C-alpha cells in the first residue's frame, strides 16, 4: 500500500480537521443559553402610594367559605372564638388583610340583613339560589361578620342589596351598623348586644348589576346607584367610601356610562375579571391541578389581560376624573377552574397550585404599576372558594400557594411605588409568547426598598441584571416561592409542600443587583 505524500498543504488541512473535530466533541448539544432581563429601578423618582386595600379579600356566603371555612358555631368541637374558627383567624392575621368584602358577590343582591340579626335560633332561613340552592340559616350575620373582622384585624367592606332589596333596607342597614344616635336602628343594634356602632369604611351599592345583581343596563344602574347612594348616610364618626358596581371585564361602555352619569356621587368604581385557562369557555374551564404546559401558558396569558383592562378602564376614568379622585376597585379577581371532582358544582371549590401563586404575583405587580388609579382589589375568595387563601375540611386546614404570595407581598402595602423599567425576554410555547419576567418595586415607611419579581417560564431560569438608580443599597435579602412541579400544591397531608424559603440568588456589586431568577418562581427582595 502506498503511503500518501504529506505536503505542507495537506498537513495544514489535517490539522484543521482535527481542531474542528475537537471543538465538536467539546461542545454540548444545542441548548440556547437563557437570555437575560435588564431592569432599572428608579428609586429617585417615586410614584404613587400603593393603597393597602389592593390586598383586600372577599368572603361570600358561597359553598364552604363562610360556613365551615370561617364559621363553625360556638358549640363546634373545632376550636373557635364565639363560633369563628381559631386556626383560620390565626392564619389570616399574618396577612394584615386591609379589608374583607362581604356578604357577596351574587349573594349580596338576595341578602336581607334583618334576617341575620337577633337570636340565632330565631333567624329566618332562606335559599341561597345562586350557590348550590342550599338553605342559608343566617347564623352568620352582621354581628358575626363584624366580630370576624375584629378577630383578624381588618376593616369591613359591606356590599348592599340593590337587586332584590329596597332603598329603605339599605339605608337602615347603614344606620344599624354606624349610627350612635338614639334612633330605631341603632337601638335595635343595642338590643342585639352591641352598644357602640362599628366603623364601616367601605360600602358597595350592589354587585354585578349587569348580571346576577339585576340584569340592568348601565344607564338604569347609574340612576339606581345615585338613588340608593343618596340615602346611605355618613353618621357622625363614620364616613362611607361609596363603591359603584362596575364592569364585567371587557365592558368599557359600562365604565363610560357610570363615569358620565354618576362619577360625582361615587368614591370608587369596581371592576371584575377572572382568569380562566379556557379564556371565555365557562362550560369547560380546565382543571385546577391536572394541567399541561399549554394550560399554564394560557392561564398566565389570560391573567396578563388585566393589564389591558386596567389601562383601558383607567383611560375612560381619566376623561371624567383627571384628578383621579375615583378609585378603580378590582373587587373580584383570581382564577376560576372546574370544581374539584366530586364536589358540589355550586360551591366553586378548587385546589390551588404554584400556577395560582404566579397569577397572584402577576396581578399584584400590575396593581402596583397602576397604583395611581387602582385603589383597592379583593381576591375571590378567602376560604374554600375559587383562588383561595385557605382550604379547610372539618377540623383540618392548610394555607395555599396564593396565601404565601399575599404574605410575601404584604411589604408593599401602603409603600410608595417605585418605577421599574424592565426589558425581558419572552417565555414562549408554540406560537404563544408572554414576558418571562414581571416586576414591581416600592419603598416602605422605614426606607426599605422591596423588589418583587415573577418568572412565568416553567422551564428556564432568567438572570435579571438591575441598575439601582437613586438608591445606595448595602445589602440584599429575599425569599422565594417555587416548586419542582407546575402543579405543586399544599394538601392536608402535606401542608408545607409549597412555602417560601430564603433566597440566595441575588448579589449586589455597587449599583448593580444581579438576580438569578429560577423557573416558575416568585421572589421578593429587600434592599
Q: Which residues are identified as catalytic?
A: 208, 332
Q: Residue 423's closest CA among 434, 409, 437?
A: 437
Calculate the alpha carbon distances from 380 to 182, 229, 516 in Å.
Answer: 38, 25, 32
Measured between its terminal Cα atoms, the distance across the chain in Å is: 75
E strands, 129-251, in order: 134-136, 155-160, 202-205, 241-248
Assess 457 for contact with ligand AHR (CB under 6 A). no
Query: Of 68 and 83, which has the nearer Cβ to ligand AHR?
Result: 68
User: Which region, judged by CB under 6 A, interacts with ligand AHR, from 6-14, 104-112, 220-228, 320-328?
Assistant: 104-112
Among 51, 142, 207, 490, indicate the residue that binds ligand AHR (CB under 6 A): 207
Query: Of 340 and 444, which has the nearer Cβ to ligand AHR?
Result: 340
Assess 104 for contact with ligand AHR (CB under 6 A). yes
Tell the smallest beta-carbon distance from residue 334 to ligand AHR (Å).
Answer: 8
Total Cβ atoms within 10 A of residue 446:
6
CA torsion angle for 229, 233, 239, 243 (degrees, to 10)? Answer: -20
Preceding peptide of 433 cis, ω within 30°: no
Q: How many helices (H) and strands (E) does the chain have?
A: 10, 27
Q: How many whole angstroms separate alpha carbon 495 and alpha carbon 331? A: 28
Q: How many whole angstroms separate alpha carbon 144 and alpha carbon 295? A: 40
Q: How many residues bind ligand AHR (CB under 6 A)?
A: 10
Tell me the angle at which helices 293-320 and 354-369 cross, rounded to the nearest 10 degrees.
20
Assess 321 for contact with ligand AHR (CB under 6 A). no
Q: How many whole angstroms separate alpha carbon 88 and alpha carbon 72? A: 11
Among 106, 177, 288, 506, indicate the residue that binds ligand AHR (CB under 6 A): 106
Q: How many whole angstroms separate alpha carbon 207 and alpha carbon 22? A: 70
Q: Is the dihedral of CA 3, 9, 14, 15 positive or negative?
A: positive
Among 110, 175, 208, 321, indicate the residue that binds ligand AHR (CB under 6 A): 208
User: How remote is the C-alpha of 129 from its chain's centroid?
Assistant: 26
Q: Name the DSSP letter for residue 384.
A: S
Residues between 376 and 405 with contacts to ligand AHR, criterion CB under 6 A: 380-381, 386
Tell the smallest beta-carbon distance from residue 499 to ligand AHR (Å).
Answer: 26
Among 136, 144, 147, 332, indicate the residue that binds ligand AHR (CB under 6 A): 332
Query: Of 104 and 116, which has the nearer Cβ to ligand AHR?
Result: 104
Tell the smallest beta-carbon distance from residue 273 to ligand AHR (Å).
Answer: 10
Q: How many whole angstroms separate alpha carbon 145 and alpha carbon 136? A: 15
Tell the smallest beta-carbon distance from residue 442 to ligand AHR (Å).
Answer: 28
Query: Of 266 and 348, which has the nearer Cβ to ligand AHR?
Result: 348
Query: 3-state DSSP call for residue 265?
Result: helix
- Laid out side by side, the sheet with 37-42 consists of 420-423, 37-42, 462-469, 512-517, 506-509
Tell the smallest beta-carbon distance from residue 131 to ligand AHR (Å).
Answer: 8
Query: Of 183 and 250, which has the nearer Cβ to ligand AHR?
Result: 250
Tell the smallest beta-carbon distance from residue 259 to ligand AHR (Å).
Answer: 21
Tell the smallest beta-carbon distance from residue 302 to ligand AHR (Å).
Answer: 16
Q: How many whole angstroms separate alpha carbon 224 and alpha carbon 221? A: 5
Among 52, 68, 105, 376, indicate the residue that binds ligand AHR (CB under 6 A): 105
User: Which region, judged by CB under 6 A, interacts with ligand AHR, from 103-111, 170-178, 251-259, 425-433?
Assistant: 103-111
User: Which region, judged by CB under 6 A, interacts with ligand AHR, from 41-49, 99-107, 133-141, 253-261?
Assistant: 99-107
- Nearest to ligand AHR by Cβ — which residue? 105
Among 43, 51, 60, 328, indicate the residue that binds ligand AHR (CB under 6 A): 60
Query: Of 172 and 356, which has the nearer Cβ to ligand AHR?
Result: 356
Tell the smallest beta-carbon distance from residue 406 to ligand AHR (Å).
Answer: 17
User: Interface residues with ligand AHR (CB under 6 A)?
Assistant: 60, 104-106, 207-208, 332, 380-381, 386
Amino acid at each position: 500500500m502506498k503511503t500518501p505524500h504529506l505536503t505542507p498543504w495537506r498537513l495544514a488541512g489535517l490539522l484543521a480537521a482535527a481542531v474542528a473535530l475537537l471543538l465538536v466533541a467539546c461542545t454540548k448539544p444545542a441548548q440556547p443559553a437563557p437570555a437575560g432581563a435588564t431592569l432599572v429601578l428608579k428609586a429617585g423618582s417615586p410614584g404613587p402610594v400603593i393603597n393597602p386595600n389592593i390586598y383586600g379579600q372577599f368572603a361570600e356566603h358561597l359553598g364552604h367559605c363562610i360556613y365551615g371555612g370561617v364559621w363553625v358555631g360556638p358549640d363546634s368541637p373545632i376550636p373557635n372564638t364565639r363560633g369563628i374558627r381559631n386556626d383560620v383567624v390565626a392564619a389570616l392575621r399574618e396577612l394584615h388583610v386591609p379589608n374583607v368584602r362581604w356578604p357577596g358577590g351574587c349573594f349580596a343582591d338576595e341578602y336581607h340583613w334583618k334576617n341575620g340579626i337577633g337570636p340565632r335560633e330565631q333567624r329566618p332561613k332562606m335559599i341561597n339560589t345562586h350557590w348550590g340552592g342550599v338553605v342559608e340559616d343566617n347564623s352568620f350575620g352582621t354581628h358575626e361578620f363584624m366580630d370576624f373582622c375584629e378577630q383578624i384585624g381588618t376593616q369591613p367592606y359591606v356590599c348592599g342589596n340593590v337587586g332584590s332589596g329596597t332603598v329603605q333596607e339599605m339605608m337602615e342597614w347603614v344606620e344599624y351598623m354606624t349610627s350612635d344616635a338614639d334612633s330605631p336602628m341603632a337601638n335595635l343594634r343595642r338590643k342585639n348586644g352591641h352598644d357602640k356602632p362599628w366603623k364601616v369604611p367601605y360600602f358597595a351599592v350592589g354587585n354585578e348589576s349587569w348580571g346576577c345583581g339585576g340584569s340592568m343596563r348601565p344607564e338604569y344602574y347609574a340612576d339606581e346607584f345615585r338613588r340608593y347612594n343618596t340615602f346611605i348616610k355618613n353618621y357622625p364618626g363614620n364616613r362611607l367610601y361609596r363603591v359603584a358596581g362596575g364592569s364585567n371585564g371587557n365592558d368599557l361602555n359600562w365604565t363610560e356610562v357610570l363615569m358620565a352619569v354618576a362619577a360625582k356621587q361615587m368614591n370608587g368604581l369596581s371592576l371584575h375579571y377572572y382568569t380562566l385557562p379556557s379564556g371565555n369557555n365557562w362550560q369547560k374551564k380546565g382543571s385546577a391541578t391536572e394541567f399541561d404546559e399549554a394550560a399554564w401558558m394560557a392561564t398566565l396569558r389570560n391573567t396578563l389581560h388585566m393589564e389591558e383592562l386596567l389601562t383601558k378602564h383607567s383611560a375612560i376614568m381619566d376623561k371624567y376624573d383627571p384628578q383621579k379622585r375615583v378609585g378603580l376597585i378590582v373587587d373580584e379577581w383570581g382564577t376560576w377552574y372546574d370544581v374539584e371532582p366530586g364536589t358540589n358544582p355550586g360551591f366553586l371549590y378548587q385546589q390551588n397550585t404554584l400556577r395560582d401563586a404566579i397569577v397572584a404575583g402577576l396581578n399584584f405587580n400590575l396593581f402596583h404599576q397602576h397604583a395611581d388609579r387602582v385603589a383597592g382589589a379583593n381576591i375571590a375568595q378567602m376560604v374554600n372558594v375559587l383562588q383561595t387563601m385557605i382550604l379547610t375540611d372539618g377540623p383540618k386546614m392548610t394555607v395555599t400557594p396564593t396565601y404565601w404570595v399575599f404574605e410575601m407581598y404584604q411589604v408593599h402595602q401602603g409603600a410608595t411605588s417605585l418605577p421599574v423599567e424592565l426589558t425581558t425576554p419572552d417565555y414562549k410555547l408554540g406560537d404563544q409568547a408572554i414576558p418571562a419576567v414581571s416586576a414591581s418595586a416600592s419603598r416602605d415607611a422605614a426606607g426599605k426598598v422591596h423588589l418583587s419579581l415573577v418568572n412565568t417560564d416553567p422551564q428556564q431560569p432568567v438572570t435579571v441584571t438591575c441598575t439601582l438608580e437613586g438608591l445606595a443599597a448595602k445589602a440584599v435579602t429575599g425569599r422565594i416561592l417555587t416548586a419542582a412541579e407546575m402543579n405543586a400544591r399544599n394538601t392536608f397531608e402535606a401542608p408545607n409542600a409549597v412555602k417560601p424559603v430564603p433566597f440566595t440568588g441575588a448579589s449586589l456589586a455597587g449599583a448593580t443587583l444581579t438576580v438569578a431568577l429560577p423557573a416558575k418562581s416568585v421572589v421578593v427582595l429587600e434592599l
